[in-house]
Amino acid sequence: MRFELLTSLSAAALFVGMLLLVELGRQIGARRIAADPEGARAGVGPFEGALFALLGLLLAFTFYGASARFDTRRQLIVDETNAISAAYLRLDVLAAEDAAWLRDALRRYLDERINMYRRFRDADAARRMLGAANAMQGEIRRRAHCRQRLRCFYLR
In this predicted structure, the answer to whether residue 133 has a pLDDT above a threshold of 60 is yes
Residue 2 — very low, low, confident or very high, per pLDDT cuts 50/70/90? confident
- On average, the pLDDT of the chain sits at 84
- H helical segments located in the chain: 2-35, 44-89, 96-118, 123-149
Residue 151 — very low, low, confident or very high, per pLDDT cuts 50/70/90? very low
Residues of the chain with pLDDT > 90, as a percent, come to 30
Per-residue pLDDT at 146: 66
In this predicted structure, the answer to whether residue 47 has a pLDDT above a threshold of 60 is yes
In this predicted structure, the answer to whether residue 106 has a pLDDT above a threshold of 70 is yes
48-60 pLDDT tens trace: 889 999 999 999 9
In this predicted structure, the answer to whether residue 152 has a pLDDT above a threshold of 70 is no
In this predicted structure, the answer to whether residue 86 has a pLDDT above a threshold of 70 is yes
Chain centroid to Cα 65, Å, comes to 12
Q: What are the CA-CA distances from residue 152 to residues 49, 98, 100, 129, 148 (Å)?
A: 71, 13, 18, 28, 9
Residue 10 — very low, low, confident or very high, per pLDDT cuts 50/70/90? very high
- Indicate the domain borders of the chain: 94-156
Phi then psi for residue 38, to 5 deg, are -80, -40
In this predicted structure, the answer to whether residue 18 has a pLDDT above a threshold of 80 is yes
Instruction: Collapse the DSSP code of 122 into the 3-class scheme (helix H, G, I; strand E, B; otherwise coil) and give the result.
Output: coil
